[in-house]
Amino acid sequence: MITIGQLAKYVGVSTKTIRVYHDKGLLPEPDRDASGYRRYGANDAIELIKIRTLAEAGVPLSRIRDLRSATHEGFQQALREIDDEVTARIHGLRATQERLRRLAAGQLAPLPAEVGAHLEYLARWGFTTRWVDLQRDLWILVFATQPDRATALFHDQAETTADPTLRQLYLDYDHAHDLDADDPRIDGLARRIAAATRERYGPDALPGLDAASEIPALIQGTVNASSPAWQRLDTLIRAQLGV
């Protein structure tokens, strides 16, 4: 039988951590000796190692407590699920590490040549520097975070902008930046954009990033924050498209 300090040292946790596990019902309180000190055995050490391993894998203490009462089959299934979760986190960390290394090398998000050419066309077509910069930042984010979807999304927008009628809508959107938010021209522009969008895509869902991606909201939030007119325009378009 060993003391709480010895157990903590053997397993590699603090005595405070062991007491927390006792308080939360993860590790049963052991018997005490004649002097009133806790005394632990081999089974306690084994249980503590299990708890520590699960906790280090990011499993919440409440879930660990539930696993203690699970059947053998249930425990094994839970371990497989936790292993899958850890594997997913490892892949995510490796991807983050690669982006950090590219950032350190000054290569945060090298845009494809066709995107650079498209940005040059925007300037020639009369879009403001503000709009071109917004588009550049948008594609940097998209290609950096959603490389599998970025090319298809870019081609869709490039085709849209190549159409003179649709390009005029983008130009009108760009130049609406400095309008008063209550300007009636915003209402008309919103109707035209919504109608053109429905005509282009019909009843199909609009092309976009994965549903879990926060990039669209980040981009639109940045755009709206720069202009009350753009914010109202976005609100009107969404309302008319039902998105």
The helix/strand/coil state of 2 is strand
Taken as a whole, the chain contains a residue count of: 243
pTM score:
0.53
- pLDDT value at position 108? 53
The answer to whether the beta carbons of residues 215 and 142 sit under 8 Å apart is yes
- pLDDT value at position 21? 93
**Structure letter (DSSP) for residue 29:** P
Q: What is the DSSP string of 211-222?
A: TT--HHHHHHHH
Q: What is the mean pLDDT of residues 25-47?
A: 89
Q: Residue 48 pLDDT > 70, yes or no?
A: yes
Which are the contacts of 242, defined by CB distance < 8 A and separation ≥ 6?
none
- pLDDT value at position 102? 65
- pLDDT value at position 216? 65
For the chain, the maximum distance between any two Cα atoms, rounded to a whole number of angstroms, is 91
The answer to whether the beta carbons of residues 170 and 159 sit under 8 Å apart is no
Express each pLDDT in 195-216 by its tens digit.
998 888 877 666 665 655 666 6
Q: For the chain, give me the number of helices (H) and strands (E)?
A: 12, 0
- pLDDT value at position 149? 81
Q: Beta-carbon neighbour count of residue 203 at 10 Å?
A: 5
